[in-house]
Amino acid sequence: MQDATQELAELARLTGMRRASSPPPDWSAVTAALGHGVPSDYRQLIETHGAGLFNNYLQVYGPEHHLRSFDLAAEGLYWNQYFQTEWRRRPEARPATLGDRDITVITWGSTEDAVYCHWIAEPGTAPERWPTAFHTVTGNTWEFHHHPTVALLHTFARGDLASKLIPPYPPDEPVTYTPY
């Protein structure tokens, strides 16, 4: 497995990512808003290339984004609030994989066809070890992945992401990254 810096460099090469021109976000404000820090590879992605969009399909939210719906600090806990209420009301709707653990669902991205990308944060677990969950409201379908954020995006860009919710791009089709 590559380290996060190598993985990000390869993702940037593959997608033509350019260096971000904006200053780094106030990560302490992000931590305060979310109640958790964020994975270091995600921080590196945002600081180096900024938030953006893969092939006009997969959006990576950024802290302090000018569009509130893509602002990690402002909207990252939207789905957590919804799920916590829903799971209290209907415990059977909670994915069995999550058990009864104390978790926080932090949304860091979404697709154009309404698949949401969440970190499953747990107290005492380093952000780099959080699983990512893909979730779609239609059918309340969940899928869990145990890869760091940048590695997951890299597998998506390469066309070999093992997912039933996010379709792969054909390997011969270029994947681009458009910063917001």
**The Cα angle at residue 155 between residues 153 and 158, in degrees rounded to 5:** 110
Sheet with 52-54, strands from edge to edge, namely 141-145, 132-136, 115-121, 104-111, 58-60, 52-54, 177-179
> What's the whole-number mean pLDDT along residues 41-57?
94
pLDDT of residue 1 exceeding 60: no
- The ranges assigned to domains in the chain are 4-175
> What's the whole-number mean pLDDT along residues 11-34?
91
4-175: what fold?
SMI1/KNR4-like (3.40.1580)
Whether the full predicted model's pTM is greater than 0.95, yes or no, is no
* Contact residues for 149 (Cβ-Cβ < 8 A; gap 6+): 39, 41, 42, 45, 108, 119, 132
Instruction: Kindly state the tokens that stand for 116.
Output: 């949401």
pLDDT by residue (tens digit) across 103-145?
999 999 999 999 999 999 999 999 999 999 999 988 889 999 9
